[in-house]
Amino acid sequence: MSKTLFLGDEAVAQAALDAGLSGVYAYPGTPSTEITEFIQNSKQGRAGEVHSIWAGNEKTAMESAIGMSYAGKRAMVCMKHVGLNVAADPFMNSAITGANGGLVVVVADDPSMHSSQDEQDSRYYAKFALIPSFEPSNQQEAYDITYAAFDYSEKYNTPVLIRLTTRLSHSRSGVERKAERPQNELHLLDNKKQFILLPAIARVNYRNLLGKQDAFENESLNSPYNKYIDGDDKKMGVIASGIAYNYLMENFDGKCPYPVLKISQYPLPKKLIEKMVDECETVLVAEEGYPFIEEQVRGLLNRTGKIIGRLSGELPRDGELNPNLVAKALGLPDTYGAPVPELVVPRPPALCVGCPHIDSYNAINAAMEKYGAGKVFADIGCYTLGALPPYNAIYTTVDMGASITMAKGAADAGMRPVLAVIGDSTFTHSGMTSLLDCIYENTPVTVMILDNSTTGMTGGQDSHALGVLGEICKGLGVKEEHIHRITPLKAQHEENVALIQKELEYEGVSVIIPTRECIQTLSRRMKKQQAAKKN
């Protein structure tokens, strides 16, 4: 059968479609965005046969997916690693309700923080929730595992988690597809109370979940994705999970002299690990992300001292792995080309020429000058680049929506004036409840919602707030005379600065909405229009 070139993300998406997916729920976030976009652009997505419209945030996405599973259909929910923090409440509790239709949670971690604020490892979440998880090592496995994950979920009535990392999500390779399976029919569980997590029911469900743990481990033991590959040289054994397995094999041209335990399915298969630890003098654990396996295998006391990896220093404690780092840990010679010439300087990402945020930041800097540094609280999006020169305009970026509530906390502490900067999509993701907190107490904060009418940083997905930001703010309770739409352009600079300063002096909640379309989506829209005219 012929192979199709897929990104790791796309392989997951295609597998879900082929496995009879009825709906994907997601909020865009690098490196997970392409999963949902692929489904949106698929035949089934365009025809509306599979739900694929973006959700407001990861929590609403997770809840919708649980609802679809409740109704008996197969649902997938996708997010970046920090998105799982937002979805943590429904995620943890979905382990207690269990699943009806196959429920697959795909989380793309971003070790080395290419586009993220931390490098948390989602395998801990799966262990925390006591549900099975998978860590594919290549694009074909990403496909095969996703395809099979729905069956696993339905077999054990449990949600399952698939963990991707940046280098798999965004790497392309040939993938062989399986037969298409039809979608499930609507059907409810016989036990109509399973999804009611009243304490009396939740206790029963939780014990059921605990009772499945041995079966989960047995699945891992017999999984085609966990392999014990024997080697002659028992001086060392290597446990390699996910894409770390590729980096290991790269160093040996496919044949490692040491025994290798490849891990792509959890909970960990204890028997296989025991075999390796018994057989080998030392055991190197190579894993992308936190020392999740290493910590479990060596234990708190590290009695044997024979488990090495990120905790013992053979591999770095942080950042992503690569073939060279694994070579060093194996005691192989490191390879290196010529050094980078001194004249090569960094080229950090920057706001695009013509970006509306540039004019917003110029106005913000002019307005804030007389108040001194440290009073602008920002959020997650392209506008986070306002932290870099030449703007140096913002002082905080923590999590989606934090700009408004952190500004509130600082105002509560007595700081005056405080300004929050948040994008339109981030505002509807997690900023609305923050604003409501301010309104409830009439906190003196000025909130600037930079409305570029899109989710810019992840490639221009639709924003839930399109055209209705003013109404949302009014509905939440911001006084109408303190809601302003302005146009972030050079020509309006002076009046924009004056308006920001006026609202900064107001001892209550004001919202200023600089409104101008993202230059990237604008140019794409123009191109499409021109093409339409030509035809």
Distance CA 329, CA 248 (A): 10
CA atoms within 13 A on the CB side of 250: 17
Which listed residue (351, 406, 419, 473) binds another protein by CB under 8 A? 351
Residues 383-402 that bind another protein (CB under 8 A): 385
Q: CA 267 from chain center: how many Å?
A: 22
> What strands, in cross-sheet order, belong to the sheet with 133-134?
21-26, 74-80, 103-109, 160-165, 133-134, 265-266
- How far apart are the C-alpha atoms of 164 and 161, rounded to whole Å? 10
Rounded to the nearest whole angstrom, what is the least distance from the CB of residue 516 to another protein in the complex?
Answer: 17
In the list 457, 473, 504, 513, the residue contacting another protein (rule: CB under 8 A) is 457
Helix (H) or strand (E) holding 250: helix 244-250
d(CA 339, CA 322): 18
Judged by CB under 8 A, the residue of 167, 375, 408, 516 near another protein is 167
Based on the shown chain and the rule CB under 8 A, indicate whether residue 255 belongs to the binding site for another protein. Answer: no
Nearer to another protein, 172 or 525 (CB): 172
Which of 168/472 has CB closer to another protein?
Answer: 168
Q: Confirm or reject binding of residue 38 to another protein (CB under 8 A).
A: no
Q: Closest Cα partner for 427 from 443, 416, 438? A: 438
Mutual angle of helices 8-18 and 139-156, in 10-degree steps: 40
**Residue 181, SS3 per DSSP:** coil
Query: Near another protein by CB under 8 A, which window of 169-177, 204-212, 282-290, 363-371?
Result: 169-177
Sign, CA torsion 118/119/122/125 = negative
DSSP secondary-structure letter at 376?
A: E
- Contact range with another protein by CB under 8 A, out of 11-19, 329-337, 420-428, 433-441: 329-337
CA angle 354, 359, 361 (to 5 degrees): 125
Distance CA 300, CA 157 (A): 33
Cα dihedral 86, 90, 77, 437 in deg (nearest 10): -40
Interacting residue with another protein among 257, 305, 331, 349 (CB under 8 A): 349
Q: Which is nearer to another protein, 48 or 389 (CB)?
A: 389
Question: Among the candidate windows 245-253, 262-270, 365-373, 391-399, which touches another protein by CB under 8 A?
Answer: 245-253
Stretch that binds another protein, among 155-163, 206-214, 316-324, 368-376 (CB under 8 A): 316-324
How many residues of this chain bind another protein (CB under 8 A)? 50
1 binds another protein (CB under 8 A): no
Contact range with another protein by CB under 8 A, out of 192-200, 231-239, 302-310, 321-329 = 321-329
Range 93-122, binding another protein (CB under 8 A):
114-115
Q: Is 254 in the site for another protein (CB under 8 A)?
A: yes
* Closer Cβ to another protein, 36 or 246, answer by number: 246
Does 69 participate in binding another protein (rule CB under 8 A)?
Answer: no
Structure tokens at 180: 């298409």
Sequence-separated (6 or more) residues with CB below 8 Å from residue 109: 80, 81, 119, 120, 121, 122, 163, 164, 165, 166, 288, 289
Q: How far is the CB of 254 from another protein (least distance, A)?
A: 7
Q: Which of 200, 344, 491, 532 binds another protein (CB under 8 A)?
A: 344
Of residues 322, 327, 292, the one with CA closest to residue 310: 292
Nearer to another protein, 87 or 327 (CB): 327
Q: Which two tokens stand for residue 531?
A: 């093409």
CB of 201 vs another protein, minimal distance in Å: 42
Q: Are 454 and 506 in contact (CB under 8 A)?
A: no
Binding segment for another protein (CB under 8 A), chosen from 27-35, 195-203, 307-315, 398-406, is 27-35
Is residue 473 a contact partner of residue 427, using CB atoms and an 8 Å limit? no
Token pair for 190:
């016989």
To another protein, the closest distance from the beta carbon of 322 in angstroms equals 5
Choose, by CB under 8 A, the member of 347, 370, 491, 530 that binds another protein: 347
Complete DSSP assignment for 255-310? --SS-EEEE-EES--HHHHHHHHHH-SEEEEE-SSSSHHHHHHHTTT-SS--EEST
Tokens of 534: 């030509």
Least spacing, CB of residue 401 vs another protein, in Å: 19
Residue 241 β-bridge partners? 263
322 binds another protein (CB under 8 A): yes
In angstroms, the CA 294 to CA 308 distance is 7
- Min separation Cβ 520 and another protein, Å: 9
The smaller minimum CB distance to another protein, of residues 5 and 498, is found at 5
Residues 172-231 that bind another protein (CB under 8 A): 172-174
Within residues 391-450, the interface with another protein by CB under 8 A covers: none
As measured in angstroms, the least distance from the Cβ of 388 to another protein is 11
509 with 483: CB under 8 angstroms?
no
Can you tell me which of 340, 413, 491, 532 binds another protein, judged by CB under 8 A?
340
If one asks whether residue 60 binds another protein (CB under 8 A), the answer comes out as no
| Positions that interact with another protein (CB under 8 A) | 3, 5, 7, 30-31, 33-34, 114-115, 167-168, 170-174, 243, 246-247, 249-251, 254, 322-324, 327, 334-341, 343-352, 382, 385, 457-459
